[in-house]
Every structure is written in structure tokens, then in C-alpha cells.
Structure 1
Amino acid sequence: MSVNNDWMQRDLASLWHPCTQMKDHESLPVVPIRRGKGVWLEDFEGKRYLDIVSSWWVNVFGHANERINTRIKQQLDELEHVILSGFTHQPVIELSERLGRLAPAGLGHCFYADNGSSAVEIALKMSYHYWRNVGRPEKRRFLTISNGYHGETLGALSVGDVALYTDTYRSLLLDVIKVPAPDGFGLPRDQWVDQARVAFAQMEAALERHADELAAVIVEPLIQCAGGMRMYPPEYLTWLREACDRHGVQLIFDEIAVGFGRTGTLFASEQAGVRPDFLCLSKALTGGYLPLSVVMTTDEIYAAFYDDYSTLKAFLHSHSYTGNPLACAAALATLDIFEQDDVIVANRSKADLMGRLAEPLREHPHVGDVRQTGMVVAIEMVADKASLTPYDFRERRGLRVYEHALSRGVMLRPLGNVIYWMPPYVITPEELERVAEVTREGLERATADS
């Protein structure tokens, strides 16, 4: 038995993998990874895989990054963890101060958790609790757009709209109001704003109709990542901020996947020139090293919870590893790299190259759309190009792309029929060219019988 196969058998005897039909692994091998360096992962037999999906969108500065490694090792010798209720520590204070300087002005308070779903739960609870504290308990519902994804705990799942994740648990979920998303699927980029304006009319109508019972609107700015990398223009966010203010409804931006440079600016909200009432961050916050998430909010919202204990206005929410010092140290090292290497500017040429490499794929007879926002490119396969009719999900065209890419040393993990590139920022032009070549091959193989 090979070394890889030995590890795979031990895995299958003891693990239950996330977002996986485990029966698939009767024919699809689990890939055991021994080490990583830069954009590459290596298995136990020396085969390497280019990590084009940033290990679920978290790793932005490469595996085994020496600067992040060093900062974590230094912190490990000082303090590994301490309760954050009644105690504090240097890394979490410094991180909160820096995030406050970097985020849209006015988000002056940070509340920490350890994953994106938990951050969304915190934002939803804080919004509901805020209105209760200020004497408006009837404002308890949430409004969102179709095709969104905000995590898989029950509150986060409630405000999502990807049927694959939500349908099974429908009876357990909150009653959330949903309006059509503004995405420009199948349209030229210069038509995205017009499409978004049409969709926004329904958002405006929902806000007007339900304002008295709405606590907040929650959206993923610019890219609906788990919803197939559907994209929309920043103008929608500008209109949404103004409408929420006018109707007295709070605004939550879930930048868990799109924050920290992924869309071309440090935060996606910068492109709309607006500030949400709650900003949820995670994933790239620690450079892909350790679990950490944060909800940033305003002084006004913070003040609504600040009172004598007997009023029961305190936000009594906690996680054991809230503000973990090692994770905060990784986040501080990540922010250092953004600052010292001028990453946002450096990414522009790579984003341009990604667009140029993807554009020829638009001519493929079974590609319905090629779209890009910053360091994210999506190529959507369709059964019929003229009508944009999707493939039946049971045909599993994306899985065919994935299997071919693995054979060519690329970790290309499509979302259904959507192939996407979301690479670490340290990827080289030559590595991007390799990804484009493997993607083209995978497309051909996945659609050969169409």
C-alpha cells in the first residue's frame, strides 16, 4: 500500500469531511497533504498541487509564510490563550486598534469570534438586541438578497439563500425577507449597473413595506462567493446604504470572503464609499493560519448596550477562544504584510493578467459567462450558451474539471458548474498561466459529450 493510500484509508475510517458526500470517496481519493510552501501543497509521495482556491479562500500570502510563522512563534512563547471576559492582552488590543484605523470610518469597536458563521450570528443578534435596547423590539426581522451565503449555523443559514445548504433545514430557520439579487450573470460588464438598478427597485419596495419590523439588511458586498461567484457593481451598495438610512434599518456587510484585498480594495465597501453598521470579517484576516473572526460596529450601537448590569442590556455572547492571542498575532503579521508590501497595488497587475488569461475561455461553446472582480475570476459552464441553460447538477460537470485538474497538479475545486480562480496573492504570472491551461483542458473534458 502506498503512503498516500495508507493515510487515506486511516482518514476514511475516522473522519467525516465538511461539505462532502462521503460516498464519493469510494472512487475519488482523499488527497493527504504533508506540507505546504507558497502556493503549493505537497502530498506524502511528493506530488504537488497548486492551491488556486487559497484553501477555501483563507490563504492570501502563501503556506508557511516566514513572516507570519515568526510572529506566531514569538507569541507562543509569551501567551497562548486567556479568557477575554474580564481580561485582555496586547495582540487583541493592537489588532482592534489597527482594524479601527483601516476599516471605514466610524467602526470603532471589535467583537471577536473564531469563524465566519459565528461572526454573522453575532451581527444578527447585536442588531436585534440593539433595537430591543432602544425600545423598538418589533424590529426583529432581516432582509437579504437571493443566492446569498453567510454560513451554516442556523441564524447564518437563515439569511442565506443557496438551496443546497438551506432546503434540508428550512423548518428550523428564521423567517427572512428575500428580494432578487442584482448580479449581472451573462451580461457585459457595462450593463451591470442597469441590471442592479432594476433589482434594487424590489429592495427599495421591501424596505418601504417592512421598515417597521426590520432590524437589518445583510449582504455580501460585490461577490456572492458560495452562490457561484455571482457578482454585482458597487453602486448597489451605495443605493442600499442610503435607503437603509432613510427607512431606519441597519446594514450588515458580510466581508468574510471578500475582505482583505480580494475585490481590489482592502474592503469591498470602499468601492461604494459607504460604511455598514456591522462589518463581519474572517478568512484572510489571519492569512489562512488560525481561526479568527471579528464583527466591527459603531459607537452608537456600542452605547446602546452600555448600562448598569441590572438593566440586562449587556451583550451576553461568548466563545471560548474569543480573541485568541496566537490568532491575533497571525492577523497582525498579515496586516504588516499588506502595509509593508503595498499588496493592493501589487495585486492590480496580477488581476489584469487573470482577466486576460480568462477572456479566451468566453468563446468556449459551453461557457455562459466569464466574470471578474479583483482577484476573483469565475467561468460558468452551461448546457446551452444561447439561452444560458445550466447543466443538470446530477451530471457533476464541475467534478470532472476537479478530477482532471488534480491529475495535472492544480487544486481547482469548482462550485457546481462554476470554475473559479481565487489564488493566494503571492502567485506568479507563470503559475497563473498554468492554471489557465489546466482550466481550458478541464473545460474540454467536462463538456466533451455535450
Structure 2
Amino acid sequence: MSDSPIWHPFTQHGLGEPIPRVVRGDGAALWTDDGRRIVDAISSWWVTTHGHNHPRIAAAIASQAQTLDQIIFAGWTHEPAETLAAGLRAILPEALTRVFFSDSGSTSVEVALKMALGYWRNRGEDRHRILVLEHGYHGDTIGAMSVGARGVFNRAYAPLLFDVGTIPFPVEGREQASYDALDAACRAGAAAFIVEPLVLGAGGMMMYPPAVLAEMAAICRMHGVLFIADEVMTGWGRTGTLTACEQAGVVPDILCLSKGLTGGAIPLAVTMASEAIYQAHHGPDRATMFFHSSSYTANPVACAAANANLAIWREEPVVERIALLAQRQAERLARLARHPRVTAARRIGTIAALDLGGAEGYLSPIVPHLTARFRDAGVLLRPLGNTLYVMPPYCIGADDLDLVYAVLEAACDDA
């Protein structure tokens, strides 16, 4: 039995792998209790945008915690939430008029699905079929798993999951097959189509161009099918723009945001919806209100952190930092792409990915060896099967990025 009672996520404790204890973070680095400096090359599961312990975000959290730490949000409100909602309205598409708070990416997706189904039910229309994109991943709660790819992530929980319509991933050169399948499914009266715009994260950093996203959104619009954009990972500059949808000129009916919403410092999520979706739940009948909440909806401390994040976006050269990191990623990935064991090197914005050897899936036996190698070399990287990716905080320096790619190249040499 392990000395610790902690059961870690996505961790097979039976392998006996060491679990480092992290004691401090600053910028793009973490420090362990034995004094080692670790470069965080994946933004601690894609959340840390501006760097660990950003002083403005930390100060906002500390200040708010001394003023108002928590208040029920059902029928009550507070200034941090009001300020945040107004700030989001100011920088996101005008058509997304309503902001619903939750506390994680998975729950923001659950909220989106419930909003979509509630919209059609309250309108008196029998539309409940949810369409999904092949290889997608939207979280680990029941609804989020239901709209994600079926496989090792959720095989044990299959009896709990609801049926969905799956649209083939738009492989380059075969996009028409995806369009045709989506068109047919929409014609059959689907309720909504949920996608990860431009990049399928946990599915293996699979990428597709903005024109494809635009066409899929247009097909949904033509048939009146709600378009849900899960930008939990792709939002907040990861693809080079504030949202990935921006590159395609797409305004979704429902938008899910989390991770970088607070700069990655504290859990918070929002689901933004069009006025039509809000109005379908609005009226004198209490039975049509939106039935969703958690105890910590719009937690004031989390909202304060998000407001500090928005201030950083407004007042600091975040876009320039993203562009510089994207350029550095492109240069280093281009060199590594020439390695004989590397295939499918790809990049969008600050996300760089490559495949090492064949397609062996998430449980590839190479993963524990790679993870240990990266850890021992002072770099936090977490392969998705044989897919290796780099998604660091925007503040990472050139020297640290060089270290990350040197470690990746060495791993490719020894694969």
C-alpha cells in the first residue's frame, strides 16, 4: 500500500511510479521538495497561460479572500461576477449575451448540453440528438463523456452514457465526407453539434483548418442546429487568437470556456449563450427555468482571479507574447520534424505536436518510459500515447524552450 492516501487522476498506482512533490511555482517553472527546477512544458494540463503565481492574479485572489469568499449565487449576486460577465461580453462576440458560471471544463460542457436540450424542449420541439466530432474529448463527467470518443477513457462507464451521432473527423483531402455526414445528421433533426474548434486535445492534438470549422458551422446554421464550441483548451490564445472560432469567423450559439479563464490559478468556467437560448428558459413559469448549479457557482475569489486575467489581457502585450512563442515553437518544431522517428509534426498558435513512431494509442507502452525520462531531465511533459506535444505558458523563455526540445529530441533518438 502506498504511504499516501491520495488517489491521483489518470494514474495507475500499481506501476509504482514516483510522484514528485511540488512546493513552488514561478513563471514557466516549478520546484520540487528536493530542490529540482522543472520546466512546465504543458502549462500544468493546459491551464497556466501567463505563468505560475502571476503577481496580479495572486494579489486579486488574496484581496478578494479578505472581502467576500463565498456566497450562494441562486438569486444573489456580487461585484466580481458582475464585473467578469461585463468583461467577457466586451471581448467576446456580441451575440453571446448571457454568461452562466460553473467550476470546470467538464461542467461547462454539461451546462451547454443542458441548455441546448432545454432550448428545444421549452420551444415545444422534439429535438434531442447530440452530434459530436470523431475523436473528441469534452471531459469526464457523464454528459461530457457521452459526447466524447468512446474508448479507454470511458469503456467501464458505457452503461451510463447516452447515444450520440458521430461525424467523421475532417481528414485533409476527405473533408467532404464529414460535411455530408453532418448535413445528413442535421437534416434528421439534431439538437446540437459540439466540437473542439481547430484542435482535438486529448484525442491526440488532431488539427484541422479554420475553413473546415466555418463550413461545419454553416451546415448547422442552415438546418437550425445549435453549434456548441468547446474552447476549454483552445480558448485564451492557445491557437494564436483569443478563441479558435475567431480564426474561422464563427460565432457559436454556445461557448464553453475554462482553464485559462483565471490564468490557470483557480477553478472557474463559463458557458456563454445566445439571447435566443436564454429567452427559451425565461418567463413566468418556474418549470422552464434553467435547472443547473453547484455550491460554488461564480465563487467570488475565482471571479476575482478571472478579472485579473482580463486586466492582463487588456493592459499587457499578451498577443505579442503569444505571437513570439508561436514563432519559437514553429522554429524548433521544424528542426525536430526532420528526425527520422518523427511523423505528423504539426502546430497551431502556441501548440506544437508530433507523433513518435506508429499509432499505438493512449495506452502505448512507451508512455511510462517517456514520462520518466522527461521528469528526470527536469521537464514536465505528458505524452498522449505516442503523441508528444508542447503547450507552455506564454512567458516561457528561449532557454527553457530549448531545453524542452532538446529533451524531446533525445527521447526520439532513444525511442
CA deviation vs aligned residue, 1:108-139 (integer Å, no higher than 9, x gap) = 11111101111111110110011010110x20
Q: Tell me what 2:168 maps to.
A: 180
| Aligned pair partner of 2:255 in 260, 275, 279 | 279
Q: Matches of 1:392 and 1:116 in 2, distance apart? A: 24
Q: How does 1:15-34 map to 2 (within 5 A)?
A: 15-24=6-15, 26=16, 28-34=17-23
| Aligned pair partner of 1:233 in 205, 209, 217 | 209
Contact 1:109 1:298 in 2 (8 A): yes
Q: Matches of 2:135 and 2:49 in 1, distance apart? A: 25
Q: Tell me what 1:69 maps to.
A: 58
Residues 1:298 and 2:284 are matched in the alignment: no
Q: Tell me what 2:100 maps to.
A: 111
Contact 2:360 2:385 in 1 (8 A): no
| Cα gap change, 1:259 to 1:162, in 2 (>3 Å) | farther
Residue identity matched to 2:195 = V
Q: Matches of 1:399 and 1:203 in 2, distance apart? A: 38
Q: CA deviation at 1:346?
A: 2.4
The alignment partner of 1:126 has SS state of helix
Q: CA deviation at 1:398?
A: 2.8
Q: Percent identity?
A: 40
Q: Matches of 2:391 and 2:22 in 1, distance apart? A: 20
Q: CA deviation at 1:252?
A: 0.4
Contact 2:326 2:349 in 1 (8 A): yes
Q: Tell me what 1:4 maps to.
A: none
Normalization by structure 2: what TM-score? Answer: 0.97
Q: CA deviation at 1:392?
A: 6.7
Q: How does 1:6-405 map to 2 (within 5 A)?
A: 10-11=3-4, 14-24=5-15, 26=16, 28-136=17-125, 138-183=126-171, 192=172, 194-208=173-187, 210-211=188-189, 214-310=190-286, 312-383=287-358, 390-391=359-360, 395-405=364-374
Normalization by structure 1: what TM-score? Answer: 0.89
Residue identity matched to 2:347 = Q
CA deviation vs aligned residue, 1:218-244 (integer Å, no higher than 9, x gap) = 000000001010111111221122111
Q: Which has the higher contact order (CA 8 A, sep 6+)?
A: 2
| Aligned pair partner of 1:424 in 393, 411, 414 | 393
Q: CA deviation at 1:357?
A: 0.4
Q: CA deviation at 1:200?
A: 2.2
Structure 1 stretches lacking a partner, 5+ long: 1-7, 184-191, 384-389
- Which structure has more helix as a fraction of its residues? 1
Residue identity matched to 2:326 = A
Q: CA deviation at 1:394?
A: 5.5
Q: CA deviation at 1:393?
A: 5.9
Residue identity matched to 1:80 = D
Structure 2 stretches lacking a partner, 5+ long: none
Contact 1:260 1:266 in 2 (8 A): yes
Residue identity matched to 1:97 = A
Residues 1:407 and 2:376 are matched in the alignment: yes
CA deviation vs aligned residue, 1:185-226 (integer Å, no higher than 9, x gap) = xxxxxxx4x443443232223222x22xx1100000000001
Contact 1:154 1:173 in 2 (8 A): yes
Q: Matches of 2:296 and 2:228 in 1, distance apart? A: 24
Q: Matches of 2:41 and 2:3 in 1, distance apart? A: 27
Contact 1:398 1:419 in 2 (8 A): no
Q: Matches of 2:312 and 2:86 in 1, distance apart? A: 17
Off by >3 Å, runs of 4+ in structure 1 = 194-198, 391-395
Aligned-pair Cα RMSD in Å? 1.5
Q: Tell me what 1:386 maps to.
A: none
